[in-house]
Amino acid sequence: MNENMIPLSLLPVGRKAKVKALTANGMSRRRMLDLGLISETEVEALQKSPSGDPIAYRIRGAVIALRTEESSKILVEAL
């Protein structure tokens, strides 16, 4: 694993990153791909909910909320 890659769940609010890998399997992986989370896609962490989970991300122009359980399976490289 590249040392510059972090789980999307650890990306600070206001920062952007590029998707490098998905570690999810099955239906969870299919959902992520359907949301546009493919290699080199730019993702921006927008805001956390008051409880801290889920977090809103801008992905290909759409705002999508992902739980930490899901976003931890998306490896990104911060920009």
1-45 residue pLDDT tens = 567 899 999 999 999 999 999 999 999 999 999 989 999 999 999
Would you place residue 78 in the very low, low, confident or very high pLDDT band (cuts 50, 70, 90)? very high
pLDDT of residue 60: 92
CA 7 to CA 19: how far, in whole Å? 10
Q: Is the peptide bond before 12 cis (omega within 30 degrees of 0)?
A: no
Domains parsed from the chain with CATH numbers: 5-78 (2.30.30.90)
Return the closest-CA partner of residue 32 out of 44, 19, 45.
Answer: 19
The model's pTM: 0.89
